[in-house]
Structure 1
Amino acid sequence: MVRLAHFFLLSLSLLISSFASAVEVQDSKGTFTLDYTPQRIVVLEFSFADALASVGVSPIGIADDKDATRVLKEVRDVIGVWQSVGTRSQPSLETIASLKPDLIIADIERHESVYEELQKIAPTLILPSRRETYEDNLKAAAIIGKVLNKDHQMQERLAVHKKTMQSYKEQLPQSAQLQFTVARKDSLYLHTSDSYAGGVITALGLTQPELDLSDKKSSRQIGLEQLLAVNPEYLIVGEYVSPNIIDTWQSNPLFGLLRASQSQHIYAVDGNVWARCRGIMAAERMAQDLVALISH
């Protein structure tokens, strides 16, 4: 009888615990509910791996573009080893299923077309990542924290992030005009103030050239003459490859007319960190880069 009572109390305790851990959040598809704390998580974007690492959680699988070094080093240092599930644009559903995840975190832009297939494998939290703003990224991290049953830890981490960014901001020349671009071998892409990098730049108290944002594109390909029309005080070049288009343009007389060229304010940064990674740790790394390059 005593054993039966003990078993009943234990079962009741587990039931109550299950209900206590249930969370309900709003993702890009509506209401997402999970009634357990996920342990086997697969993420399909770098920003989601950043969010997990920010509260000390390691995913079992990442869509890492089949290149582990594309995951931010600060994130890798926290999460350790994972299984690649392919590219972010086309993750392998078969590999994901083989990992038997109890949560998948997907990107609304890249993965909406396979959302139903992902849902058949495991509950799928779908949020913005690609083309998201800096503020959207922080909101997504907060949602992920709740789903992981680490809301308190995530809020603490976001508070630390805010103070860290403020500290970096105080070391930068306020109102300095800065433009971030991504350089490939034969093309240059300008990232507007609506882009993730643009949001980080604004948060750090720096300004950006006024651009026509009517087409709503946060990244757009530009030529040398268009870059000259933008003519920023500082030009930050996220290199995807080296040598790249900037090296080609340097022999063009027009390039020498750029304010940033004349003042030697053209700086190369890691394009992967600045454009692909996106996240709490990524933003702090970007701020650290800027302080090293253009601090008082």
Structure 2
Amino acid sequence: MKQQKVINIKQVALRTLQEEAAAIEGLKTFINDDFEKVVQLIGHCTGRVVVTGIGKSAIIAQKIVATFNSTGTPSLFMHAADAIHGDLGMIQEQDVVLCISKSGDSPEIKILAPLVRNFGNPLVAMVGNASSYLAQAADYVLNTSVPKEACPNNLAPTTSTTAQLAMGDALAVCLIELHGFTAEDFAKFHPGGTLGKKLYLRVGDLSKQHPAPAVLPESNLRTVIVEISSKMLGITAVVDAQGQLAGAITDGDLRRMLEKEVSPVQITAADIMSRQPKCIQEQELAVNALEKMRQYDITQLLVLDGETYKGIIHLHDLIREGII
């Protein structure tokens, strides 16, 4: 087993980050007319963006595809090696092909580039060598040249793949703004994750998942206690005959009432209810309910449709959905 060297780990890590940061900073000089034309080309494309590459560049290509798809630019990944063994059939007439390569001269890329040109599809090269075969064959060039790799041997793709990733993000963000892609649009493509839920899940979606405790203003104390206990939310709404909200009673209100020297027999809901309970409209985002609970240091809100009582949203609902 080869003996490990003694190194200054923090120093090496900092040097790596500094070199990669400098490489990204250097990309500013490559944001040129070709970059702008590529954004317009992809932005007005009626097909997909087929992103291809080989080796580490293929991995970067997959990440760019994922970013494009999640932000409204239809894309797919095609491995350059598989492309020349049948996967070229993935490319359709209206597609734009984005080929990523550090050298631009790998054997697979040299075979693939002219084939794409023969299909008549626009070919965009994201390449680290502006004099390479790929750069010369492409319609547009996104230059991602870097001075050196962060690898001490200047071999392992490190700085170069960071530059590719950053250039891909620059494309994606420009396309987001070009398309006017909003947070609501983003939520449509992220329905399963916490981020998506924060952008699309509504208060009414959660309040409908359990019964809506309610009593009338003239309900006696026993009715109030049974309603709060049976619904297990620690609260009940007080509503009139038309379902309009009149107030709310919490288990805390009950305890405070029992501390007073009053006869529980004559007590009605109207006597102990809070007449200005904290409420939220059912069409609001669930994440807004969380902010309101935090603001008032409470664990539930009454849910309304206008002035009509619809139910309760509880802190546990938000925890269960992963909003917190």
Q: TM-score, normalised by structure 1?
A: 0.29
What TM-score do you get using the length of structure 2 for normalisation?
A: 0.27
Larger radius of gyration: 2
